[in-house]
Structure 1
Amino acid sequence: MITVRKQSLLFMKKQRVLIVDDESSSVRILRRILSTKDYILDDASNGDEALAKLEEKQYHALLTDWLMPGINGVQLIQHVRKNIRNQPIIIMTTVVDSLQAKEDILAIGADYYLSKPYDLNELINCLEEGLARLQQLPLNLNLISSQKELSTPPPCIAVVIAASTAGCEALRKVFYGFPSCKAAFFIVQHGPEWVIEELARKIQLNTDLNVMVAADSQMIQPGCIYIAPADSHLCIQQKSFSIKLTDDPKENFLRPAADPLFRSGAKAFGGFTIGAVLTGLGMDGTNGSAHIVASKGIVIVQDPETAVAPTMPRTVISSGLAREIVPLNKMQTTILEKVEILSGQLDQMR
């Protein structure tokens, strides 16, 4: 049996939110709206002032503008992700609305990007979802029984990957120059539709693998990367080895979430499953990793020291589920080595 921690929530009575914007009218609006949600609110008119406050207090969320005098929002986010140990959820709010700008901001560690004028309800939803993920703690031990060995061999090796904050950039590095091999790859990257579509496009530019946003009932083929579409869980059908997309309830406050993918992958591919957990806040992927280990599969985790947001990999490691912990620049080599080893075992089984 594999010992893992059962998910639970521990909410602080009050969450502290820092608003950073040089436009006093924007600050007033946010204060008026968020004060109804019982947050402890602080504000700063520029990045320098924000850094001083971040040194004094622990904040659970940071809402920052981009274009400000002195230290701007980009530099502020970079400092927070590099130097603040207790990482907050970060929401960038800005008048800049280009696709490249959005990609750049998410790559340095923002969790959400909202273009001004933004919908206040969307802002509140992002904040509440992010804070819920941030405060999700592993509590109460739960036992997951070891799974039975497969009676028939799967068609290939399955590599299931979880990524969140700054995950698109990490995934592009993992798959840069990735050769074709005897594995099918499945990715859950948290984000809206435009993030998923751009991720598929960018990965395809630099790999021999066939990259696509997954479609329901699609047959799984080796040499392909299937990316979970926005707002759908990506699962693997055990007997047909096809893809199943569901609108089942959110897990870890997310849809898509990595845990449903990891669990279904372990059930369908058994010991021929490789799980990889990359950068991200929260604990998505931990429960699923336990199922992979229970099926005698392999879990590889990005070294938290090389992750923009270390919580997801750190949670898997602290649960004792990581077979290997590797820096991001070694992730591709490690995955390929494991695929080669398991492919040899799969050939012997046939």
Structure 2
Amino acid sequence: MSERIRVLIIADSALRSEAIAAILSSDPSIWVIGTARNGEEGREKANILKPDVITIELKTPVMRGLKAIEKIMEESPISIIVISDMDVNVTVKALSIGAMDFVLLTREIEEISRDLIEKVKIAARVKPVRRIKVNSTVAAGPVPKKSVSKVVAIGVSTGGPQALQMILAKLPSDFNAGILIVQHMANGFIGGLAEWLRSGSFLDVRVAAEGDILKSATVFLAPDNYNTRITDNGIISLSKDTGGAKGHVPSVDIMMKSVADSFGHDAVGVIMTGMGRDGGEGIRAIKRTGGITIAQDEKTSVVFGMNKAAIETGHVDKVVPLEEIAYRIIEVV
């Protein structure tokens, strides 16, 4: 980027604003154009200053951080980085309503600084997507599950929580397949994500454990630090990375390849918004064994990276906007 990245800081104390500004200003490519003491002031300054990126604390007074994120993403979307020492569920909620990423304050200052600068630079390259409201569903009651005959394998990273919410909210309680998901995110947050997704879906959403059996209308999210595979009889197997694997753990490629090996033409691979190339080889494997492959389009992606790499393999059957993915899955299951 030839021009400096313009950042607005929203924090509840002058001391915290100064600390964040000092970190960001240490990089010559970043320019802090303003600060705000609460969500309402931040919202007003965002409309006037038009920053490239906003950093926001979730506990800001007057208009709380979550409400400010929601309003900004509805009115004039801007890439938002959450700065938080709050609980998992609150941070997951912030991601679900439009925040692009988050930085935790529970680490050493050098690591916080490095992470914040890197994520601001990434956010500045991303075209923010206007927040899409999703109506939550409440299951009418338990639905009998049967052994799985089809598997939907989903890989997603940046922008994933809200995208997953939209898909799972549209799938019916008698959905005739099991679902495996690899969502790249910081350690410690996958359980909160599963709980939040379950609250807005007819499906049973949980974090996978060794020996779990995938059944219809059941969703398993890969746990932190474990690669997730599935056998041909629907049993989940977890393995810790031994240091030889490249890229993310859990890996979308490893999960999807196991689905392709075990379910062949009964597999559906879905690759969505996110940075990097993880999932491209997995999509290729599913297609080569006769499965169906779907990719989220560029326009509705927070980051057109993983899905772009998969599309470039030439093994994606359908490229569709986020709001259509659930319907395409239902069609082929």
Structure 2 length-normalised TM: 0.69
Partner residue of 1:326? 320
- CA displacement 1:156-194 (0-9 Å, x = unmatched): 212101222332232222222523344221011222455
Q: Give the conservation status (yes or no) of the 8 Å contact 2:152–2:179.
A: yes
Shift of residue 253, structure 1, vs aligned partner: 4.8
- Give the aligned residue type for 1:78: M
- CA displacement 1:83-127 (0-9 Å, x = unmatched): 6xxxx6x521257x3666423321233243346677534524644
Q: How many pairs does the alignment contain?
A: 300
- What SS does the aligned partner of 1:234 have? strand
- What SS does the aligned partner of 1:305 have? coil
Shift of residue 266, structure 1, vs aligned partner: 1.8
Instruction: Give the alignment's Cα RMSD to 1 decimal.
Output: 4.3
Partner residue of 2:35? 45
- CA displacement 1:209-253 (0-9 Å, x = unmatched): 433211123344444321111232222346885322323459785
Partner residue of 1:275? 269
Q: Give the conservation status (yes or no) of the 8 Å contact 2:24–2:31.
A: no
Specify every segment of 5 or more residues in structure 1 that has no aligned partner in the other structure, as ranges. 1-11, 136-153, 340-350
- CA displacement 1:236-290 (0-9 Å, x = unmatched): 3468853223234597853323222122222222222211123334443223222
Match for residue 167 of structure 1 among 160, 171, 194: 160
Alpha-carbon distance in structure 1 between the residues aligned to 2:310 and 2:231: 25
Shifted more, 209-218 versus 25-34: the winner is 25-34
Q: Spell out the pairing of 1:11-160 with structure 2 (5 A cutoff).
A: 18=7, 20-21=9-10, 25-30=15-20, 32-33=22-23, 40-43=29-32, 44-46=34-36, 47=42, 63-65=55-57, 67=60, 74=69, 78=73, 82=77, 90-94=80-84, 97=86, 101-114=90-103, 119-124=108-113, 126-127=115-116, 130=119, 156-160=149-153
Alpha-carbon distance in structure 2 between the residues aligned to 1:80 and 1:298: 37
Q: Give the conservation status (yes or no) of the 8 Å contact 2:81–2:99.
A: yes
Q: Give the conservation status (yes or no) of the 8 Å contact 2:148–2:176.
A: no
Match for residue 240 of structure 2 among 237, 246, 250: 246
- Give the aligned residue type for 1:157: K
Q: Give the conservation status (yes or no) of the 8 Å contact 1:16–1:39.
A: no
Note closer, same or farther for the CA distance 1:110–1:158 as it changes in structure 2 (3 Å cut).
same
Q: Does 1:317 align with 2:311?
A: yes
- What SS does the aligned partner of 1:270 have? helix
Alpha-carbon distance in structure 1 between the residues aligned to 2:62 and 2:30: 22
Note closer, same or farther for the CA distance 1:225–1:75 as it changes in structure 2 (3 Å cut).
closer
- Give the aligned residue type for 1:120: I
Specify every segment of 5 or more residues in structure 2 that has no aligned partner in the other structure, as ranges. 37-41, 125-146
Note closer, same or farther for the CA distance 1:15–1:319 as it changes in structure 2 (3 Å cut).
farther
Q: Give the conservation status (yes or no) of the 8 Å contact 1:236–1:243.
A: yes
Note closer, same or farther for the CA distance 1:50–1:211 as it changes in structure 2 (3 Å cut).
closer
Q: Give the conservation status (yes or no) of the 8 Å contact 1:214–1:229.
A: yes
- Give the aligned residue type for 1:263: K
- What SS does the aligned partner of 1:110 have? coil
- Give the aligned residue type for 2:287: V
- What SS does the aligned partner of 1:187 have? strand
Q: Does 1:293 align with 2:287?
A: yes
Alpha-carbon distance in structure 2 between the residues aligned to 1:159 and 1:281: 21
